[in-house]
Structure 1
Amino acid sequence: MSERAFPSLLTELQRLRWAFHAWCLMLPWLLRKPLSRELRRLRPGIGSVLGHALAAMLGTGCASLPAPVPQAERPHSSAIAQVAHTRLAQVARVSAEGASPALSGFRLLADGDQALDARIALARRAQVSLDIQYYQVAADATGRRFLRELADAAARGVRVRLLVDDLYAGDSRLLLAGLAAQPNAEVRLFNPLPQRRGAVATRVALSMHEFERINRRMHNKLFIADGSLALIGGRNIADDYFQRGGRSSFIDMDVLCAGPVVGGFETVFDRFWNSEQVWPVHALLPEAEEEGRARRSFAQAVMDLGPTPAVAPLDRLGYRPVAAELDEGRLMLHFAPAQLMADGPDKVEADTRGAPDAFALEGALKAMREARSQVLVASPYLIPGQRGLALMRRARAKGLRVVLMTNALAATDEPLVHWGYARYRAEMLRMGVELHELSPVLRRRAGASPGESASSTGRLHAKLAVIDGRRLLIGSMNMDRRSMRANTELGLLIDSPALAVEVTQTLQRDRDTGSWRLRAGASRPGSIEWVAQEPGGEVVHAREPGADWVTRLKLGLMSLFVAEELL
């Protein structure tokens, strides 16, 4: 399940454009037959969007949002300050004994089972409040379990505030309406689409008259329990992000936080929660209007989820499960200074063509410009653009080592985005930038990560950078224009050599055993070779693995119609 809906949609829209031209050629014949019957014969992805788009054009016209919600129906609320008495606050205090009060505590969550366990453990132990913000909460087994834990917390008297970006909310609208119907729980949606029904592609296709607005999404991932402990990182709430048996197995990273930085997260959350870009679900989802029915539907949907997923006794970094440490009253944390980088909700209405100094990704790039020896970057979607190339060129001119890791074509869930990145590979190699592309085939040969299914496709999803071997960037930000211009993002710059080493070693294992190393080819100027170290020796490909001529032709043609800033 891709989180980059607009590149995916743009791919479909290019196909739709070609299908529409073909449809126009057949229009005289089609008019002699029932239109819906012919549309059903089209390929499902195109037929669904084309059929709904035609229905909209020929029928009701453009969709529109309801009237703005009165402030009385969207009451202002803030983080609860009286949390010192809670169990989680006590654990945070004990865990910080001996550390400076100015420092925050951090612990990485590298494995999917540990990351899910941490969220469940915090939800079950919260006593006062849960403030949660996600780009995507799916209606699959993980999403349903997650929402049931929130409902159980609300039933104990915990105030639950859940903020979800609206793009994928249509897929889980029954669950969101059901949670909102629980006492002590409130659900709001960010930047809603005018079209309220249908699949994501259909909703966006019928909302294209407001494309400039709906192209801007809330990409944040944030979980705060009792104002004392917080989780941020790259994971959305869906099976694929926690290695729960989906078609994809995302390689991701979260960080558990305690100390002063959590107050900054609460400020960010409150700013979004009370913004004009947020709507309560009862104003957008008809399913939320009848609370009794919504509660019954919710109870039915989350009834048979089975036991809580098992958790390994130790993760790949040697950490024990968060639940076990919480029960013992102390978390293993690294204490360090940290800088919060966060976009505001009004970014979706800002003119991002101007100076982007206030944007979260700009703060990340500034930290990279300050590097003195090396920069290691892992990003699933990496499109440097001319500005990024200039940044790398200056770094290499200063003698810095620059290492970039992203998905190979066979690993990415967004081939068109990968095609945008591929335009820059030869130039980056000429500069001396080290490029590595994660390969699902090589990862399977080397052995899957803990909890990763051998049948799923391993994909890099972590958004990380290590600067000079001591500063760690982690959060929701990809290294592309979408994170800079279109999405709101959230991240941390942590000055911790210990965390930097843990991330570097984790990425090094994936680079050594599961990735192609790219190098300039000798056959012709600008050519590239893909190199892997396998048990039998070095294996070299002169053509991109997984890219046959049909794939290259299709992506090349589609890329002609899509501006790079939309990828």
Structure 2
Amino acid sequence: MNTTDKPLAALLAASLAALRLTACRLCILALQHLVISRALCGALMVALSMLAGCAALPGDVQRVASQARTDVGDSTLAHIAAASLPGAAGPLSGVRLLPGGDDAFDARIALAAAAQHSIDAQYYVVADDTSGRQFLRELRDAAQRGVRVRLLVDDLYAGGEDELLAGLAAHANVEVRVFNPLPVRSGGLRTRVLLSLHQIGRVNRRMHNKLFIADNSFAITGGRNIADEYFGRSKPANFIDMDALLAGPAVRELSASFDAFWNGPLSYPFEAIAAGDRPAPAYARERFAALVRHLGRFMPAAGERDALGRGAVGVQLAQGRVELVPASVRVVADAVVQAQPVAGDAGGDLDGTEGAVMAANLDLFRTARSEVLVVSPYFVPMPRMIDALTHASQGGARVSVMTNSLATTDEPLVHYGYARHRSAILALGATLYELMPASEPRPAETESGRGAGSLGRLHAKLAVIDRRWFYVGSMNMDRRSAHCNTELGLVVDSPALAGELADLIERERMPASFAVSEAPERGGLQWSFLRGGQRWVLHQEPESTWAQRLRWSLLSLVVDEDLL
């Protein structure tokens, strides 16, 4: 930044600080009346738009359309995929679940290393950390072998990674695009969002998809972004997640979904929106090489098997056959451009039409005859979801819902959006579980909030129906995923895999969770858990203080649930 920019930057920073302080003071007033709340929000948007200078995206952007490679039959991965499926598979795809972080990262790295024709990668987050840099280095190495690499990243968390993305994009055979960029590129996430509120209707549409495709022969999709916390490499918290590895017809359907986003109107070539002056390609490549040079090579533990008893994908690829289960797979993907809102839930409010992924899940719930098991890190049900689960329960299905507790969630505001619905979930006859922190829960709260130890945060997005069908994908069971984000998922018909997944949840996750129920004598809710052969019961949100509960519950009242 040159010296002439500094007074303006200082004024902007001071203005933003004043706005934040004013907004916090006005929140309590806004709690008293919805009209006041909406007026304050409108005034804040106008003020921020003025400060942003009505920043906008470039209008004349050249996008060269491209499609998934289909001339891949001679590739090593295509031969391994064919060898991994029975000859009579026909329309069936091959599926393998990836419950462990190490195995999920190994699968991506091994596929990238084996690719000979193309790699397509689509992610909500590619972090500038060890995992992110190792992943991007593999993409560069593939490109240097002549592999065509297409990387599509949502812009919300990509604002501070221009140097890394520019360095990758400067290589031959690589193209990087950014989905639905915010009009302001520079600054931290909070600043960028605040200065983009004049376009909130557009920037609220985020690409939450997670997809990796190698040689149009193998694909990985599910809940994991590319960051340390998704692969068990972060301290003090890591995400408990699930992906699926696929071969067969479903891969081509996933490639079609990627192409729709890649060639869509909201995907911008990185070079068109990068902040500041573009470095010379040679310099950008040198900087990228320096950023990734001293990283080690990822090596999974030799001989280890995952929680489902399967060996490392990289080892199996080297052996020429991957252990896959033949199954009927339906790929469900939301549209690139959001549908227009229609009149919806009770109360007369406008409620955005659910995307294809949420609609598929609600339809699946309604088919249940014996069991519905839902796992979601963020669970903020809309009335139609409550209706679908009620329909299943009244039809005789056992309904179980698992989500994060306040002690394990990374989004306390979303948790309080969910908390308002707990009694309704229990009233429909469901069993409700909230993941416990890894350390001993404290029956008596302390104001320090310390002592929780390392955390495993639930991040898997799953549903198992009648131990025959299951869903795995990127979509949380909340309103933002239904109405604002784009999502991607699979509906799989496989009693073997569905039973395996349900057993894993019941064996490893339910015993590590609070069972939430109505307190019959005291009223309200209670959280029970087993520890050391003894049953403990808590009568307030575990691992929380009264100040925390008050703060987040008040804030949750002024935030539209569609934004949670």
TM interval, shorter chain, is 0.7 to 0.9
1:149 maps onto 2:138 in alignment: yes
Partner of 1:329: 320
User: Does the residue aligned with 1:544 lie in a helix, a strand or coil?
Assistant: coil
Partner of 1:192: 181
Aligned runs of 1:36-51 on 2, under 5 Å? none
Q: Structure 2: how far apart are the matches of 1:550 and 1:60?
A: 34
User: Does the residue aligned with 1:522 lie in a helix, a strand or coil?
Assistant: coil
1:281 maps onto 2:279 in alignment: no
Partner of 2:212: 223
| Alpha-carbon contact 1:412-1:459 (below 8 Å) kept | yes
Q: Which amino acid aligns with 2:59?
A: A
Pairwise CA distance, 1:399:
1.6
| Alpha-carbon contact 1:143-1:237 (below 8 Å) kept | yes
TM normalised by structure 1 equals 0.86
Q: Structure 2: how far apart are the matches of 1:441 and 1:100?
A: 42
| Alpha-carbon contact 2:70-2:216 (below 8 Å) kept | yes
User: Does the residue aligned with 1:403 lie in a helix, a strand or coil?
Assistant: strand
User: Does the residue aligned with 2:161 lie in a helix, a strand or coil?
Assistant: helix
| Alpha-carbon contact 1:180-1:288 (below 8 Å) kept | no
Pairwise CA distance, 1:356:
3.3
Pairwise CA distance, 1:57:
6.8
| Alpha-carbon contact 1:249-1:458 (below 8 Å) kept | yes
Q: Structure 1: how far apart are the matches of 2:526 and 2:485?
A: 34
Aligned runs of 1:40-439 on 2, under 5 Å? 61-70=53-62, 74-285=63-274, 286=276, 288-311=278-301, 313-347=304-338, 350-351=340-341, 356=353, 359-439=356-436
Encode CA deviations 1:386-408: one digit per residue, 9 max, x unaligned.
22222222222212110000000
| Alpha-carbon contact 1:282-1:289 (below 8 Å) kept | no
| Alpha-carbon contact 2:129-2:228 (below 8 Å) kept | yes
Pairwise CA distance, 1:269:
0.7
Partner of 1:33: none
User: Does the residue aligned with 1:179 lie in a helix, a strand or coil?
Assistant: helix
User: Does the residue aligned with 1:509 lie in a helix, a strand or coil?
Assistant: helix
Deviates more, 1:516-525 or 1:466-475: 516-525
Q: Which amino acid aligns with 1:19?
A: L
Pairwise CA distance, 1:21:
5.5
Q: Which amino acid aligns with 1:336?
A: A
**Percent identity (aligned):** 49
Q: Structure 2: how far apart are the matches of 1:330 and 1:443?
A: 43
Pairwise CA distance, 1:504:
1.0
Partner of 2:474: 476
Partner of 2:496: 498
Q: Structure 2: how far apart are the matches of 1:162 and 1:100?
A: 31
| Alpha-carbon contact 1:379-1:462 (below 8 Å) kept | yes
Cα pair distance change 1:556/1:17, threshold 3 Å: farther
Cα pair distance change 1:442/1:378, threshold 3 Å: farther
Pairwise CA distance, 1:287:
5.9
Pairwise CA distance, 1:507:
1.0
Gaps of 5+ in 1: 1-13, 25-52, 446-453
Q: Which amino acid aligns with 2:387?
A: A
Deviates more, 1:129-138 or 1:312-321: 312-321
Deviates more, 1:98-107 or 1:275-284: 98-107
Q: Structure 1: how far apart are the matches of 2:100 and 2:455?
A: 16
Pairwise CA distance, 1:17:
6.2
Q: Structure 1: how far apart are the matches of 2:53 and 2:532?
A: 61
Encode CA deviations 1:96-148: one digit per residue, 9 max, x unaligned.
13442110000011000000000000000000000110011000110000000
Cα pair distance change 1:470/1:368, threshold 3 Å: same
1:559 maps onto 2:556 in alignment: yes
Q: Structure 2: how far apart are the matches of 1:61 and 1:524?
A: 55
TM normalised by structure 2 equals 0.87
| Alpha-carbon contact 1:357-1:363 (below 8 Å) kept | no
Q: Structure 2: how far apart are the matches of 1:310 and 1:98?
A: 31
| Alpha-carbon contact 1:159-1:184 (below 8 Å) kept | yes
Cα pair distance change 1:485/1:292, threshold 3 Å: same
Q: What is the number of equivalent residue pairs in this alignment?
A: 514
Deviates more, 1:385-394 or 1:480-489: 385-394
Pairwise CA distance, 1:442:
5.2
Q: Structure 2: how far apart are the matches of 1:290 and 1:462?
A: 41
Cα pair distance change 1:368/1:195, threshold 3 Å: same
| Alpha-carbon contact 2:77-2:215 (below 8 Å) kept | yes
Gaps of 5+ in 2: 1-15, 27-44, 343-349, 443-451
User: Does the residue aligned with 1:211 lie in a helix, a strand or coil?
Assistant: helix
C-alpha root-mean-square deviation of aligned residues, in Å?
A: 2.4
Q: Structure 2: how far apart are the matches of 1:431 and 1:54?
A: 43
Cα pair distance change 1:548/1:358, threshold 3 Å: closer
User: Does the residue aligned with 2:456 lie in a helix, a strand or coil?
Assistant: strand
Partner of 2:528: 531
Pairwise CA distance, 1:149:
0.4
Pairwise CA distance, 1:291:
1.3
Q: Which amino acid aligns with 1:148?
A: R
User: Does the residue aligned with 1:337 lie in a helix, a strand or coil?
Assistant: strand
| Alpha-carbon contact 2:433-2:510 (below 8 Å) kept | no
Q: Which amino acid aligns with 1:505?
A: D
User: Does the residue aligned with 2:83 lie in a helix, a strand or coil?
Assistant: helix
Cα pair distance change 1:444/1:144, threshold 3 Å: farther
Cα pair distance change 1:289/1:18, threshold 3 Å: closer
Q: Structure 2: how far apart are the matches of 1:156 and 1:96?
A: 28
| Alpha-carbon contact 1:356-1:362 (below 8 Å) kept | no
| Alpha-carbon contact 1:249-1:457 (below 8 Å) kept | yes
Partner of 1:6: none
Partner of 1:541: 538
| Alpha-carbon contact 2:49-2:198 (below 8 Å) kept | no
Q: Structure 1: how far apart are the matches of 2:498 and 2:340?
A: 34
Q: Structure 2: how far apart are the matches of 1:243 and 1:328?
A: 26
Pairwise CA distance, 1:173:
1.7
Q: 1:19 aligns with which of 7, 18, 21?
A: 21
Q: Structure 2: how far apart are the matches of 1:15 and 1:196?
A: 19
Cα pair distance change 1:411/1:60, threshold 3 Å: closer
User: Does the residue aligned with 1:170 lie in a helix, a strand or coil?
Assistant: coil
| Alpha-carbon contact 2:439-2:453 (below 8 Å) kept | no
| Alpha-carbon contact 2:439-2:454 (below 8 Å) kept | no
Pairwise CA distance, 1:167:
0.6
